[in-house]
């Protein structure tokens, strides 16, 4: 049986958010937060638009999901993000007690895994590499265009 709302589906929704960031001249990172197979929050990077270095897709999605749930913890929620979170965002995900993190492309320079998964809440599970090529291409194409 084919499951329509699977990791690939939700990662595609995060990619759609990243495309919105790209259209606005932002670093193309997008996120969605899912609870019970429903998207409860969507966000993309807005550091340029908001002139705020903390306005990463993850941070904005956490705030939106918490508001939707009326709670500060995101237990029983999964975040799909196109790029491995940075240390700041991993710390926020720890405090939010996210149940599962799924990211597309690794971030060799700034990703939290350089330090280790201990940055996340001990109960948070991790999956990565979902739609890796698409997610990585968004980033590499963006920075290649910036250098021209």
Task: Please list, in sequence order, all residues whose beta carbon lies within 8 angstroms of the beta carbon of residue 56, skipping any fewer than 6 positions away.
Answer: 29, 45, 47, 85, 86, 88, 89
Question: Which one of 17, 23, 48, 58 is the catalytic residue?
Answer: 58
CA atoms 56, 60, 65, 66: torsion sign = positive
Q: Could you tell me whether strands 30-35 and 100-105 are parallel, antiparallel, or unpaired per DSSP bridges? A: unpaired
List alpha helices for 44-86, DSSP H.
47-50, 57-69
Q: What angle do CA 85, 101, 67 make, to 5 degrees?
A: 90
Rounded CA Rg of the chain = 14
Residue 23 bears catalytic tag: no
Positions marked catalytic: 58
């Amino acid at each position: 049986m084919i499951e329509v709302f699977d990791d690939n589906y939700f990662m595609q929704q995060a990619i759609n958010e990243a495309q919105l960031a790209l259209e606005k001249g932002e670093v193309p990172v997008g996120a969605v937060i899912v609870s019970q197979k429903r998207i409860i929050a969507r966000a993309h990077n807005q550091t340029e638009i908001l002139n705020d270095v903390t306005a990463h897709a993850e941070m904005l999605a956490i705030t939106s999901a918490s508001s939707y749930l009326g709670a500060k913890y995101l237990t029983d929620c999964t975040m799909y993000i196109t790029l491995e979170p940075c240390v700041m965002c991993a710390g926020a995900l720890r405090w939010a007690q996210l149940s599962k993190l799924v990211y597309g492309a690794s971030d060799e320079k700034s990703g939290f895994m350089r330090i280790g998964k201990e940055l996340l809440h001990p109960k948070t599970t991790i999956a990565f590499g979902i739609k890796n090529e698409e997610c990585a291409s968004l980033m590499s194409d963006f920075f290649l265009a910036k250098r021209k």
